[in-house]
Homo-oligomer: A and B are copies of this chain.
Amino acid sequence: MPHTYDIKVRFYELDPYNHLNHSAYVQYFEVARIELLEDVGYGMPRMAELGFHIVVTGIQTRFLASAKAGDTVTVETTVVKIKRVTAQWRQRILRGDEVLATQIVDAAFTRPGGRPTRAPGGFVEAVSKYSADVLEA
């Protein structure tokens, strides 16, 4: 089951086309991943305490329809793969039933200096409630 998080579109995030700028979708996806982490006990303050960074190494994002002023969108997030030092996430942004954007994110666990490292102990188990082999894209 994906994690879900609602975000209300902000006026200053809209561009002169009256569309949510595509970089704002990328930000919403990040916001939602961090909410998932917090939800399972690995929010950014705790990750910092434990001495871990999560660094995005790649994204593949498709923009299907525009969010606009006044919209509240839902970001769905699923952890699809955790390997030794990397994790892959799948995400979607929806407005009601309409898919506005999809994203595959590759991220790496690192130490503050940048050295790749395994996920913190207990992390894989913690996120398993939002893990899936498949998320309909």
Contact = CB atoms under 8 A, between A and B. Distances in A.
A66 B110 CA distance: 13
Interface residues on A, range: 35 or more
Nearest to A14: B16
A27 B26 CA distance: 10
**Dominant secondary structure at the A interface:** mixed
Interface of A: 8, 10-12, 14-19, 21-24, 26-27, 30-31, 34-35, 38, 43-45, 48, 53, 55-64, 66, 68-70, 112, 114
20 contacts: A10-B30, A10-B31, A10-B34, A11-B21, A11-B30, A12-B21, A14-B16, A15-B15, A16-B44, A16-B48, A22-B30, A23-B26, A26-B26, A45-B70, A55-B63, A56-B63, A58-B60, A58-B61, A59-B59, A59-B60
Give the copy number.
4
Contacts of A8: 35
